[in-house]
């Protein structure tokens, strides 16, 4: 039996046969119906330390897909162009096919994680200004940090594209910070990826507890992938809590 996926014009049994374009650590990208779209699947796989630690967390894919869906819709409503088109089912979304810019953009409001480790700034220290970092998107080289002249020198992005990415990253930060604040959550830091579509830079990838640090404003509890990285337990409970609060916001 084939089940028609609401509004997608596709049937469920067709989706799994689609050509796998790319399999990342927690998401897979499949060919869409045409060369303008792809199907992004959020899987249950969790990894940390560049794949050194691995687990399957049942339901994580659906939680991250729905959280990303809510955040993409919110950003689109506020003038940020994203790759999101529509949900196909619980774990799969139809997205615009972009040429990914192989640069990860990290935005930090509070010192934590890699920043604290690298620069000896205690976790939780508020930053006097928003920090923007660029990293090469490369598991093989461990995502090393890059400066703008390095990025333009090897043609990963033009200076104009970098300016657009910086401007969008700061606008996304303001929008998300305000939204999470209403949810009783501090947006500590997060990672973005961009791609080009019709020559424009648009937001790609995901925005989820896998790619952000969320701290409960009242208790300081971590509501993100640090629960997995640091063996704090109840990873999915934290992800569910983020989704519950976003739905109520
Ligand atoms: O590890 P670090 O402190 O540099 O991470 C900053 C933010 O970027 C965190 O929210 C982390 O989850 C996210 N990140 C990511 N993917 C990476 C590197 C960092 O989602 N490859």
Q: What is the pLDDT of residues 45-98, one digit of tens each?
A: 999 988 889 999 999 999 999 999 999 999 999 999 999 999 999 999 999 999
- Count of alpha carbons within 13 angstroms of residue 107, beta-carbon side: 23
pLDDT at res. 51: 82
pLDDT at res. 4: 56
Kindly indicate the confidence band of residue 1, based on its pLDDT and cuts at 50, 70 and 90.
Answer: very low
Give domain limits for the chain.
2-96, 99-234
pLDDT at res. 73: 98
> With 70 as the cut, is the pLDDT of residue 37 above it?
yes
User: How many CB atoms lie under 10 A from the CB of residue 46?
Assistant: 21
CATH fit for domain 2-96, picks 3.40.50.1970, 3.30.200.20, 3.40.50.1580, 3.30.360.10: 3.30.200.20
DSSP state, 76? H
Spatial distance between the Cα atoms of 68 and 85, rounded to a whole number of angstroms: 12
C-beta 143 within 6 A of ligand 1: yes
* Contact assessment for residue 112 and residue 54, using Cβ atoms and an 8 Å cutoff: no
Mean of all residue pLDDT scores within the chain:
94
pLDDT at res. 236: 98
Rounded to an integer, the average pLDDT of 107-118 is: 98
C-beta 115 within 6 A of ligand 1: yes
Residue with tokens 């162009």: 81
Strand partners, 198: none
Tens of pLDDT, residue by residue over 186-221, are 999 999 999 999 999 999 999 999 999 999 999 999
Q: Whose CA is nearest to atom 7 of ligand 1?
A: 190
| SS3 state of residue 7 | coil
Kindly indicate the confidence band of residue 138, based on its pLDDT and cuts at 50, 70 and 90.
Answer: very high
CATH fit for domain 99-234, picks 2.70.70.10, 3.30.43.10, 3.30.470.20, 3.40.50.1000: 3.30.470.20
Strands 37-42, 20-23: parallel, antiparallel or unpaired by DSSP?
A: unpaired
C-beta 26 within 6 A of ligand 1: no
Kindly indicate the confidence band of residue 13, based on its pLDDT and cuts at 50, 70 and 90.
Answer: very low
pLDDT at res. 14: 52
Matching fold, domains 2-96 and 99-234: no
Rounded to an integer, the average pLDDT of 3-13 is: 52
Phi, psi of 236, rounded to the nearest 5 degrees: -70, -30
Q: Which of 4-18, 22-36, 160-174 has the lowest mean pLDDT?
A: 4-18
Q: Ligand 1 centroid to 249 CA: how many Å? A: 25
Kindly indicate the confidence band of residue 2, based on its pLDDT and cuts at 50, 70 and 90.
Answer: very low
C-beta 189 within 6 A of ligand 1: yes
C-beta 114 within 6 A of ligand 1: yes
Q: C-alpha dihedral over 148, 154, 157, 159, to 10 degrees?
A: 50
> With 80 as the cut, is the pLDDT of residue 230 above it?
yes
Tens of pLDDT, residue by residue over 151-172, are 999 999 999 999 999 999 999 9
């Amino acid at each position: 039996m084939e089940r028609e996926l609401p509004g997608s014009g596709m049937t469920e049994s067709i989706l799994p046969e689609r050509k796998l374009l790319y399999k990342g650590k927690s998401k897979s990208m499949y060919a869409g119906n045409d060369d303008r779209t792809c199907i992004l699947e959020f899987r249950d796989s969790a990894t940390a330390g560049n794949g050194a630690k691995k687990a399957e967390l049942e339901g994580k894919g659906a939680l991250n897909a729905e959280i990303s869906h809510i955040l993409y819709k919110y950003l689109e409503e506020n003038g940020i162009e994203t790759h999101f088109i529509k949900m196909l089912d619980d774990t799969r979304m139809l997205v615009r096919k972009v040429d990914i810019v192989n640069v990860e953009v990290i935005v930090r409001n509070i010192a934590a994680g890699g920043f604290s480790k690298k620069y000896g700034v205690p976790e939780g220290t508020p930053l006097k200004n928003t920090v923007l970092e660029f990293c090469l998107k490369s598991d093989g080289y461990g995502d090393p940090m890059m400066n703008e002249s390095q990025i333009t020198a090897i043609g990963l992005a033009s200076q104009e594209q970098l300016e657009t990415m910086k401007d969008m990253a700061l606008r996304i930060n303001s929008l998300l910070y305000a939204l999470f604040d209403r949810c009783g959550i501090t947006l500590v830091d997060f990672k973005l990826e961009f791609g080009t579509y019709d020559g424009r830079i648009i937001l790609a990838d995901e925005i989820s507890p896998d790619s952000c640090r969320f701290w409960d404003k009242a208790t300081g509890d971590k509501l993100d992938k640090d629960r997995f990285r640091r063996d704090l337990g109840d990873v999915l409970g934290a992800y569910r809590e983020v989704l519950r609060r976003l739905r109520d916001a």
